Amino acid sequence: SSRPVLLKVRGLKVAYGGIQAVKGVDMEVREGELITLIGSNGAGKTTTMKAITGSLIMNDGDIEYLGRSIRGRGAWDLVREGLVMVPEGRGVFARMTITENLLMGAYTRRDKAGIEADVEKMFAIFPRLRERKDQLAGTMSGGEQQMLAMGRALMSQPKVLLLDEPSMGLSPIMVDKIFEVVRDVYALGVTIVLVEQNASRALAIADRGYVMESGLITMAGGGRELLEDPRVRAAYLGE
């Protein structure tokens, strides 16, 4: 592809105390791509995403974002530059309303009119949030909270959105809805890195995918290509 590289991860290592969770990961994400990262529980996917977005410190390696090293930079700082993660478990502000949560997502912005227009835009993408805009976030269903978490992240105008298991624990109908929304956000031009348990659905919508095992990338390729790979099918698609 001739699209510019937005994120370049080289030899990334991350440890928790003495435990090396990520052991030398290389990845590249180009502008406008939807990349998926799949692998079994404990493979190091979440750790990799947290290191990329500045909420965990790397032990070794480097990450370039927009052509510059972001090593050592913190999550708040990186959100300002458009590198934003929606963590698993969503982390919405339970005691704030939907609207207040969305506004919190815009904390880096000063353009009041733009922010208001974007709240409306989020309500257009997520009609359910409009219906409940004055409801406390903590009283919403898991799927609704996931949508709110994505909406809040979008309010910061991300260039790259990293989603950690957005369909986790949701009903089949909600899972469909979440995948639809991921595709909508991708269609808006936001670059996406998607970590998913639901490997077949993630690969089906991804431009490219990486397979992670025990802290290392073991396979990489086009979404379709990985979906049809017998090793991927045997290990992650239950065949």
Positions in the binding site for ligand ATP (CB under 6 A): 16, 19, 21, 39, 41-47
* Distances in whole angstroms, Cα of residue 236 to Cα of each of 213, 227, 232: 11, 10, 6
Residue 120 has, within 13 A of its CA and on its CB side, a CA count of: 6
Q: Which is nearer to ligand ATP, 15 or 96 (CB)?
A: 15
Listing DSSP states for 171-230 in one string gives -HHHHHHHHHHHHHHHHTT-EEEEE-S-HHHHHHH-SEEEEEETTEEEEEEEHHHHHH-H
Phi, psi of 186 (to 5 degrees): -60, -45
Asked whether the beta carbons of 49 and 88 are under 8 A apart, the reply is no
Closest separation between CB of residue 156 and ligand ATP, Å? 23
Closest separation between CB of residue 238 and ligand ATP, Å? 16
What 3-state DSSP class applies to 113? helix
Closest separation between CB of residue 182 and ligand ATP, Å? 17
Closest separation between CB of residue 58 and ligand ATP, Å? 13
d(CA 168, CA 197): 7
Q: Which is nearer to ligand ATP, 47 or 99 (CB)?
A: 47
Residue 99 — left, alpha, or beta (φ > 0 → left; ψ -120 to 50 → alpha)? alpha
Q: Which is nearer to ligand ATP, 45 or 177 (CB)?
A: 45
Closest separation between CB of residue 215 and ligand ATP, Å? 7
Closest separation between CB of residue 65 and ligand ATP, Å? 20
Amino acid identity, position 69: S
Q: Which is nearer to ligand ATP, 44 or 105 (CB)?
A: 44
Q: Which two tokens stand for residue 110?
A: 């000063």
Q: Which is nearer to ligand ATP, 42 or 74 (CB)?
A: 42
Q: Which is nearer to ligand ATP, 89 or 221 (CB)?
A: 89
